[in-house]
Amino acid sequence: MNQLRIAVIGAGHLGRIHAKLLPQVEGATLVAIADPSPAVQRELIETTAVPIISDYRKIVDEIDAAIIATPTRSHFDIAADLLSRSIHCLIEKPITDCPYQAVQLGGLAEQHNCVLAVGHVEQFNPAVRMAFQRVGEPKFIQTCRASGYTFRSTDIGVVHDLMIHDIDLVNTAFPGRMIESQACGFSVFGGHEDIAQARLQFDCGGVANLTASRCSFTAERNMQIFGTDGFASVDLANHKIKSIRYPRWLKQ
């Protein structure tokens, strides 16, 4: 099998995680890590065996795919450039600053026969998958995703930073389209919302209450699912189901 040649673009917190894990992926080769910061480059040179470069464009002829882990505001320009060169793109969420740009990237990926994927990792959380299998048809979902202020992802608000994972999950859980939304949020430290709550209702009758905060004193990642066949409480951070309960009549 031919090795897939991959570059990591952006060597912040998530970029370094990708660079660390990629060598463990069968069939993949980490070609280089690209980051424009001289300080980051010096640090990586001391700890990483792969080439460290300042500009990803120096190695576009040497890669088949790229992981884009730069600040959100640069996602579109980098991905559009790579896709136009027929280079597959895996992008950290959120995919872009606005839906219009995301649609454009989708069109470029289709035009150049490229894979374009976004890091909605909760889709692969085994506890989430098992919980949805056990509760029957979901009717009501409640989530809370909270953390302390890390000073990362300050170019986006907490909805795009944290709540986006739960929005993705409820979109998958409830068939049909969303027909009503109510939300509120406010800033604590920066120019974007740091705390947000949303209530989403779908035409299938499903309802979701979502809470996200990045200025909390404790970390929390949990989900409760109420379905036609039972209830499940999921610890999203540790990939564990905390409890599953069934109505009495289902036990008879």
pLDDT at 49: 87
Has residue 145 got a pLDDT over 90?
Answer: yes
Query: In terms of Cα–Cα distance, which of 62, 48, 41 is closest to 17?
Result: 48
Mean pLDDT of 210-231: 94
pLDDT at 128: 96
Q: Which residue has the tokens 């994927």?
A: 117
| pTM score | 0.85
pLDDT at 16: 94
Q: Give 31-76 pLDDT, tens digit per residue.
A: 999 999 999 999 999 888 899 999 999 999 999 999 999 999 999 9
Per the CB < 8 A criterion, the answer to whether 202 and 214 are in contact is no
- Higher-scoring residue by pLDDT: 39, 150: 39
If pLDDT is split at 50, 70 and 90, which confidence band does 148 have? confident
Mean pLDDT of 7-18: 94
Has residue 78 got a pLDDT over 70?
Answer: yes
Q: Give 174-198 pLDDT, tens digit per residue.
A: 998 999 999 999 998 878 899 999 9
pLDDT at 155: 82
Per the CB < 8 A criterion, the answer to whether 163 and 196 are in contact is yes
- C-alpha to C-alpha distance for 29 and 178, rounded to whole angstroms: 41
If pLDDT is split at 50, 70 and 90, which confidence band does 252 have? very low
Q: Which residues contact 239 (CB under 8 A, 6 or more apart)?
A: 125, 126, 127
3-state class (DSSP) for residue 20: helix
What burial letters (b/e) apply to 147-180, b meaning 16+ CB within 10 Å? beeeeebbebbbbbbbbbbbbbbbeebbeeeeee
DSSP letter string, 104-134 = HHHHHHHHTT--EEE--GGGG-HHHHHHHHH
If pLDDT is split at 50, 70 and 90, which confidence band does 142 have? very high
pLDDT at 184: 96
pLDDT at 251: 54
